[in-house]
Amino acid sequence: MACLNADLIAKSVNRLRKKRGLSYAEFLRTLTHLHFSNKNIEDIGDISMCRNLTVLYLYDNHITQICNLGFASNLTHLYMQNNNITRVENLSNLQMLSKLYLGGNRIAVVEGLEQLGELQELHLENQRLAPGEKLLFDPRTLLSLAKSLCVLNINNNNIDDVRDLAVLQDLQHFSAADNKLHNTEELEDVFGLWPQLLHMDLRGNPACRTPKYRDRLITACKSLEVLDGREINELTRQFLINWKASKEAKMKRNNTGALIPYPLTNDLNLVQGLTSTAVQRWKKPQPSLRCAFHTDLG
């Protein structure tokens, strides 16, 4: 196993450094990109001499903790997928970070991103969670990302509810395939709050098997261009929107019809019985009148 530090970096760029005729310290200060993917790296040591770093590739390693990156205030892209990271931490100084790749780790709670006001893409797919565990989101982190996040990938994380994500109203690309989302009405409510949404992938969720699933989401997401890998035809969308509006208008008319002041019944025998009783009562002389009639004759 290796530790990412200044010595390891210097060795990897020695030939290029000599070509430029710079000292190690001078050369490390010029670096903007570091490529150390799949290098059996277990720890991130002191690499603060790379003060102008903007892109760091550390995917496919054995890193267990995000650390020692506080110096990298210019960092915009961080690739740390497929490691052994369990917590999202020590990122508060990376205020220029726009893309964060953390898929394929062991993260159970998405947190610690409150200071990343420039973050546009967050990739968290395929976390290796304990049986029965699902990926959760700290509400403070979601609220802090509400005005910046455009891309969110949470594929295959045992997620069964996305209502907490409703605050992310600037999302344009959302991928939550192979989860446990089942309530289509909840999905409609949440996605209806994302006016910028262009691409969405929910394949592999139970909700995909519900009747009219695709039609319902197309009418809820009026800007959506691609759903589950299939483009949305604009004529189809307009037809569905018009059909839904017509159906709702018809239901509204039915619900506001005139009220009937007497109860309705489908029981014909009951109706006939009530009618017969009323006729008999009308034909039968009233006792008070009959008594008065006999008194007058006497």
Residue 75, domain CATH = 3.80.10.10
Q: Which segments of the chain does DSSP mark as H helices, in order?
A: 6-12, 14-20, 24-30, 139-145, 184-191, 213-220, 234-255, 268-283, 287-297
71 and 169 assigned to the same domain: no
What range does the domain containing 102 cover? 1-121
Q: Name the domain count of the chain.
A: 2
Q: What is the CA radius of gyration of the chain?
A: 34
- Inside any domain, residue 206: yes
Q: Which of 121, 141, 173 is the last residue of a domain?
A: 121
42 and 101 assigned to the same domain: yes
Q: Which of 74, 95, 121 is the last residue of a domain?
A: 121
Q: Give me the residues paired with residue 254 across strands.
A: none
CB-based contacts of 112, cutoff 8 Å, min separation 6: 87, 88, 89, 90, 91, 92, 138, 141
- Inside any domain, residue 220: yes
- Inside any domain, residue 298: no
244 and 178 assigned to the same domain: yes
User: What digits encode the pLDDT tens for the residues 238-254?
Assistant: 777 776 666 667 777 77
103 and 19 assigned to the same domain: yes
Q: Report which of residues 238 and 230 the model is more confident about.
A: 230
Of all residues in the chain, what percent carry a pLDDT higher than 70?
83
User: What digits encode the pLDDT tens for the residues 256-279?
Assistant: 754 444 444 444 444 344 444 443
Q: Which of 121, 144, 176 is the last residue of a domain?
A: 121
31 and 110 assigned to the same domain: yes
